[in-house]
Amino acid sequence: MLTLEDARARVLDGIQPTPDIETIDTVEAAGRYLAEGPKARVASPAFDNSAMDGFAVRTADLGEAGGELPVAFTVAAGDDPEALPSRGCTRIMTGAALPAGADAVVMQEQVESDGETAHFSACPPAGNNIRQAGEDIRSGAELAAAGERVSPALVSALATAGVAQLRVRRRPRAFVLATGSELRGPGEALGPGEVYDSNRPALAALLRELGAEVTDGGHVPDELDALREALRHAAGYDLVVTSGGVSVGEFDQVRRVLEEQGEIDLWKVAIKPGKPFAFGSLGGAHFFGMPGNPVSALVTFQQFVRPAVIRWMGGAADPLRLPAEAGNDFYRDAISRTEFLRARLQLVDGRLVATPLSRQGSGMITGLARAHGFIVVAAGSHGFKAGERVMVEPTSEWCRFGEPQSRGEE
Ligand code: AMP
Ligand code: MG
């Protein structure tokens, strides 16, 4: 069986960034990956301006102990001011262009003024409270590199620099299908032995969060012809993500149909939860077969599908792993597969403490829904004792570290 690392490398080897590049408005680009590094069209600031509400002065007009100057006029943001008269100052607002001749701004709290004259109790150093043209962004500078993800902050930097459009890789079209004769959709009544399909909504949500356009393929029973039909249709997408039917059960037919209609590149990875996982191709689509157990499906998605989608979109990402202190024991004779323990993460006196939650069953989705992250327990180890160092993967970029346990059970 492949290790987590080998399997992930195999999956990533099998994926190339899409060659399809499109030009889109910067305002729509958050979450996309750049195909080209955008260059600043204008500098920022584009002109010397005031960092404060205050008074613009020529420092040569003031002595070391300050002095008094007539207030010539007021400059507001957006004005194109005339030059500072000889021996004079101006009122100036934050972001307003500095009048020619001025070389410092004194914040208004340090100035006494009746509107006609201003009294300065000290002479500021030249450059004081001035944002210099080009100090943040030089015109023509590359603001980000190809392969970078467009973040909201980068959208702001690009907008500042007058970059209205970007060249990005397109979004993948993903087809999500749940398999299992026991599955029912939302709003349907449950008969004996039936369960609601929880993987399809979760996988669709994860894919959308990554930027994919998701088509809901519904759920199909564990019948060869139904599966064949559904997967034939799926072959026209960029990515196909299924749940269930990839294990060794009598009705686990997904692998068989994938073999008939496409190719299997790998099957089964030494991770827990999540061992049954199939990766391959189906027509022009990359195929990812998730296990049916809800926790396994989501862990497998995060470990394999997530980096694959990011690579397809032109980026690269490794999971963030942080060192933490174990909050309790998890000690075993032999751990043969890399384990992902659902854990609560808390900051205790400045130390990150990770405590495994009690509900670790691969079908127990509430453990995952309540978790702040995973403790990754290496295959071949014996786990850990309370207080020892463990590695954790937070489940989101905004961790709820230290949030009080509000829903009772842990
Ligand atoms: P499988 O991988 O098909 O053998 O399914 C393993 C377990 O996961 C079984 O208990 C299934 O009922 C359950 N399961 C499979 N698919 C889903 C799904 N889409 N939503 C919720 N549970 C599922
Ligand atoms: Mg099944």
> Does residue 21 surpass a pLDDT of 90?
yes
Q: What is the pLDDT of residue 101?
A: 98
Strand intervals (E) in 76-160:
89-92, 104-107, 111-113, 117-120, 130-131
Ligand showing the shortest atom-to-Cα distance for residue 181: 2
Cβ–ligand 1 contact at 294 (below 6 Å): yes
Ligand showing the shortest atom-to-Cα distance for residue 365: 1
Q: What is the pLDDT of residue 359?
A: 83
Confidence of residue 251 (pLDDT cuts 50, 70, 90): confident
Q: Are 215 and 237 in contact (CB under 8 A)?
A: yes
Q: How far is the centre of ligand 2, averaged over its atoms, from the C-alpha of 59 (Å)?
A: 79
The residue to which tokens 């006609």 are assigned: 116
Q: How far is the centre of ligand 2, averaged over its atoms, from the C-alpha of 251 (Å)?
A: 7
Q: How far is the centre of ligand 1, averaged over its atoms, from the C-alpha of 180 (Å)?
A: 7
> Does residue 163 surpass a pLDDT of 60?
yes
Mean pLDDT of 136-152: 97
> Does residue 407 surpass a pLDDT of 50?
no
| Ligand 1 nearest atom to the CA of residue 245, by list position | 3
Ligand showing the shortest atom-to-Cα distance for residue 193: 1
Q: What percent of the chain has pLDDT over 90?
A: 90
> Does residue 289 surpass a pLDDT of 80?
yes
Q: How far is the centre of ligand 1, averaged over its atoms, from the C-alpha of 399 (Å)?
A: 29
Q: What is the pLDDT of residue 398?
A: 53
> Does residue 158 surpass a pLDDT of 80?
yes
Ligand 1 pocket, mutate which of 199, 220, 362 (most atoms under 8 A from CB): 199
Residue nearest atom 5 of ligand 1, based on CA coordinates:
292
Confidence of residue 361 (pLDDT cuts 50, 70, 90): confident
Segment (H or E) for 240: strand 239-243
List the beta bridge partners of residue 56: 90, 105
> Does residue 238 surpass a pLDDT of 50?
yes
| Residue (of 38, 25, 41) closest to 145 by Cα position | 38
Residue nearest atom 23 of ligand 1, based on CA coordinates:
292
DSSP state of 320: -
> Does residue 405 surpass a pLDDT of 90?
no
Cβ–ligand 1 contact at 370 (below 6 Å): no
Q: What percent of the chain has pLDDT over 70?
A: 96
Confidence of residue 362 (pLDDT cuts 50, 70, 90): confident
Q: How far is the centre of ligand 1, averaged over its atoms, from the C-alpha of 171 (Å)?
A: 29
> CA-CA distances (angstroms) from residue 117 to 72, 89, 96, 169?
9, 9, 20, 58
Q: Are 162 and 186 in contact (CB under 8 A)?
A: no
Ligand showing the shortest atom-to-Cα distance for residue 293: 1
Cβ–ligand 1 contact at 200 (below 6 Å): yes
Q: What is the pLDDT of residue 369?
A: 87
Cβ–ligand 1 contact at 253 (below 6 Å): no
Cβ–ligand 1 contact at 293 (below 6 Å): yes
Degrees to nearest 5, angle at CA 399 with 343 and 270: 45
Locate 151 and state its tokens.
Answer: 């973040």
Write down how long the chain is: 410
Q: What is the pLDDT of residue 152?
A: 97
Per-residue pLDDT reduced to its tens digit, 202-235 = 999 999 999 999 999 999 999 999 999 999 999 9
Q: How far is the centre of ligand 2, averaged over its atoms, from the C-alpha of 12 (Å)?
A: 27
**Mean per-residue pLDDT of the chain:** 95
Cβ–ligand 1 contact at 292 (below 6 Å): yes
Ligand 1 pocket, mutate which of 176, 179, 183, 256 (most atoms under 8 A from CB): 183
Mean pLDDT of 114-142: 97
Q: What is the pLDDT of residue 397?
A: 57
Q: What is the pLDDT of residue 408?
A: 45
Degrees to nearest 5, angle at CA 133 with 139 and 166: 30
Task: Report the distance separating Cα 171 and Cα 169, nearest Å.
Answer: 7
Q: What is the pLDDT of residue 317?
A: 84
Residue nearest atom 10 of ligand 1, based on CA coordinates:
293
Q: Under 8 Å CB-to-CB from 99, ≥6 apart: which residues?
A: 56, 75, 81, 82, 83, 84, 90, 92
Confidence of residue 353 (pLDDT cuts 50, 70, 90): very high
